Chain A
Amino acid sequence: MTKTFTGPDARRPALPASPSRRRRRPAAPRGRFLTAFAFVLPALVLFVLLVLAPILIAAYLSLYRWNGVGPPTNFIGLDNYLRAFRHQIFLGDLRNLLIIVALSLLVQLPISLGLALLLNRKIRGRAFYRVMFFAPYVISEAITAVLFSLILSPESGMANQLLSAFGMEGWPWLSDPDTVMISLFLVITWKYFGFHMIIYMAGLQGIPKELTEAASIDGANPWNVFRHVTLPLLAPTIRISVFLSVIGAIQLFDLVWILTGGGPSHASETLAVTMYDYGFRRTQIGYASAISVLMFLLALVFALGYQRTVMRRDVQGALTTMGGGR
């Protein structure tokens, strides 16, 4: 645990520990530990109350059949979990999660990377484009959803008005089970490509110009410079961006809830939407808690697995490696 107090370099790749470095930092005396503890205490209390306790309570409730009125008494063991894995809607959620993740990684992130590369050059109006592309990320997800439910509205919506202005048929943006996921993905992309673009731009700016220049002088064409110099050096940034994208997809809720409510016929439903629907609408709090625990486990397993394998070198020294990195 003391690693959290070792200062800002805790997340950097391990440096060869020199003896002089050791000497400068003797084992923290008891007093300093208490001081640190006092400073951490408020955050710790909040963390326990608002993060740990709800997780544990959810795990507890997930073992009951409970409609939320009075105390839970009907203990059913793991039945809620077994039910989830036989539940068409829950399985559909997992399928939709895969669709969103796949589209995000294959379409959204490459677009963001392309734009980042473009805007990393000295082009006219660069600052303007950066702000414009980042702006959607600043808008809250709920407002984005309301905005797009107006734009994608079947009759008076801007999208179909534009199509009809060009003499085309209106497109069933949100009303066709077969195409609703595509529309949803378009909105997600609109909202988040700017965020990933900014991450990539930050990564690009950390790549020394000398390296790309040297490659060019050595006769590499622009594609080779990108493929063999820029891309490898950008890899840590890409890994982070993929990570955020997947975690975000697991938790996708507000956009879907407002835009489609998960419909039509559950075609665009996500894990969080199902959790909310069963918890607050159907008052099957036990089952909803089981779904929330499964979401938590999914995110946890992915996060730990990803950090320990794909991002191993990026997070060396962080807590999740259990000190194994040092």
Chain B
Amino acid sequence: MQSRRSVVAFAAAALLLGACGTGGGGQGQAGQSSAPAGPKKVTFEFWNLATSEPGKSFWANTIAAYQKMHPNVTIKNVAIENDSYKPKLATTVQSGKAPDVYQHWGGGVLKQHVDAGLVRDLTADVGDLIPNLTTAALTAYQFDGKTWGLPADIGMVGFWYNKALFEKAGIQQPPATWTEFIDAVKKLKAAGVTPIALAGKAKWPGHYYWSYLAMRIAGVPGLQQAADNADFTGPDFVAASQRLKELADLQPFQKGFQGADYSTPDGQAATMGNGKAAMELMGQWAPSVQKDSSKKGLGDDLGFFTFPVVEGGKGAATDAFGGGGGFSLGKDAPQEALDFLKFALGPENHRKMVQVGAALPVYKGEEEAVADPLLKQVAQTVAQATAFQLYLDQAYPPAVGQQVNDSVAELINGTKTPQEVVQDITETAKSEME
């Protein structure tokens, strides 16, 4: 009993202390002991998520290279594991300061930081790099006509499918339209194959379906407008919810999917990797997670196709949905931090990042540097995207994003109707606009 109580007490205390905490880091311009000769010494913090290879070595090398060129600069490499990164960053920004250089996913969270005046406006500073970056990569870091961060990685969500199982069900080629897709699901079911692997417990994988359907039916501008007006009750979004309900009614997902997580045993990735389902809608990391959470992954049987178009919809097959990562500067970061960021994510150094497989291309024409053939296909599709939409649970304020995830899960589980889903999302979006 004691342990249960103390953990909750801890969670509550963390929630509460977070509010009054004075913030643990990122206060730049620390070491200002001005040396008699040469430029003065500067220390700043660099917060990133690169706790595993190949990103870990890439950043260690980049920092070493920069410090060698600029002996007066000391960069504190703060690499934090993904799950603890978000709470730590959230606690720090509550104190009214952002780290000097920090990694994030852009979108709604970055907007919150910007609105609180914690982030440096980079519009003029990185103006020389912007023309060479892809629109898709920049989406998450530009709003109100200004640039608030530099992208480091961009990918997209699409269907990863098992070619052998498609063949078994007699499906000649990947479906290009929603009708063909529904048809393929039925054929797979008829052939005794589970059509789709889905992590119902994790919720975010489900929101990909709704987002793509909304993009294909309302178009990216339509979706953007709905977000701006905080109104998702339009007929396009009801239609998107209805299409998803039609799919869910076919029971295309693996047994017990409502309790399944993404990368656990019996999770979505393992179900795919073990050949127990024919496809999953997932981002560019899907092949590696499939491999890690199953015996060996699918190897050459794995293929990629983009989300089908919906007949009569305003969206194109080439409109892409996804996200990546990038870096921003805290308001009070020293000038050297900007210099470091431009060095690290400049075209030359970023190409190395792509070559070692630590990121996908953000610069135009960088796709050649991608080694893996499937990832190259993803990178090329992103580069040619006619419009790009960031993950909704990242693009929107966290409360709205989580509501989308929640409502879509309820739609798929059959506990809410399409009408209720768009109303719930709209209600949350409106309350966040106040």
Contact = CB atoms under 8 A, between A and B. Distances in A.
B124 interface: no
B250 interface: no
B11 A253 contact: yes
Given A265-B410, A283-B90, A272 B11 contact: yes
Nearest to A296: B12
Contacts of A255: 4
Given A154-B266, A282-B402, A292-B16, A68 B11 contact: no
Nearest to B86: A280
A58 B19 CA distance: 9
B302 interface: no
A214 to B, nearest CB: 35
A218 B398 CA distance: 71
Interface residues of A, number: 65
Interface in A125-150: 140-142, 149-150
Interface in B403-421: 403, 406, 409-410, 413, 415-416
Nearest to A280: B87
Given A68-B93, A69-B115, A265-B409, A192 B87 contact: no
Nearest to B17: A54
Given A69-B112, A155-B256, A253 B8 contact: yes
B112 A175 contact: no
Contacts of B1: 192, 195, 244, 247-248
Contacts of B18: 68, 285
B221 interface: no
Contact of A67 (B112, B266, B413): B112
A142 B409 CA distance: 25
A150 B118 CA distance: 43
A154 B413 contact: no
Nearest to B90: A68
Interface string A99-131: 000000000000000000000000000000000
Interface string A262-298: 0111100000100111111111110011001001000
A57 B20 CA distance: 8
A52 to B, nearest CB: 11
Nearest to B416: A265
**Which bracket fits the contact residues of B?**
35 or more
A251 interface: yes
A174 to B, nearest CB: 4
Contacts of B254: 154-155
Interface string B97-132: 000000000000000110111100000000000000
A264 B200 contact: yes
Given A172-B256, A277-B402, A264 B11 contact: no
A174 B9 CA distance: 26
B377 interface: no
Contacts of A253: 4, 7-8, 11
A263 B12 contact: no
Contacts of B15: 58, 275-276, 279-280, 285, 288-289, 292
A288 B15 CA distance: 8
Interface stretch (B64-72, B171-179, B257-265): B257-265
Of B5, B16, B259, the most chain A CB neighbours within 10 A belong to B259
A248 B16 contact: no
A149 B264 contact: yes
A170 B20 CA distance: 49
Interface string A64-84: 010111111000000000000
A177 B415 contact: yes
Given A172-B259, A283-B398, A251 B8 contact: yes
A266 B200 CA distance: 12
Contacts of A153: 256, 264-266
Contact of B7 (A70, A141, A154, A156): A141
Which of A68, A141, A251, A264 gathers most chain B CB within 10 Å? A264
A175 B255 CA distance: 9
A293 to B, nearest CB: 10
B415 A265 contact: yes
A61 B416 CA distance: 32
Contacts of A213: none
B34 to A, nearest CB: 32
B314 interface: no
Contact of A260 (B86, B201, B256): B201
B112 A150 contact: no
B139 to A, nearest CB: 22
B19 A248 contact: no
Given A141-B7, A260-B201, A280 B13 contact: no
18 contacts: A53-B16, A57-B19, A67-B397, A68-B18, A140-B3, A154-B256, A174-B201, A174-B256, A175-B200, A177-B413, A252-B4, A253-B8, A255-B4, A263-B200, A272-B11, A281-B402, A285-B15, A292-B15
Interface of B: 1, 3-5, 7-9, 11-13, 15-20, 86-87, 90, 93-94, 96, 112-113, 115-118, 200-203, 254-261, 264-266, 271, 276, 397-399, 402-403, 406, 409-410, 413, 415-416, 434
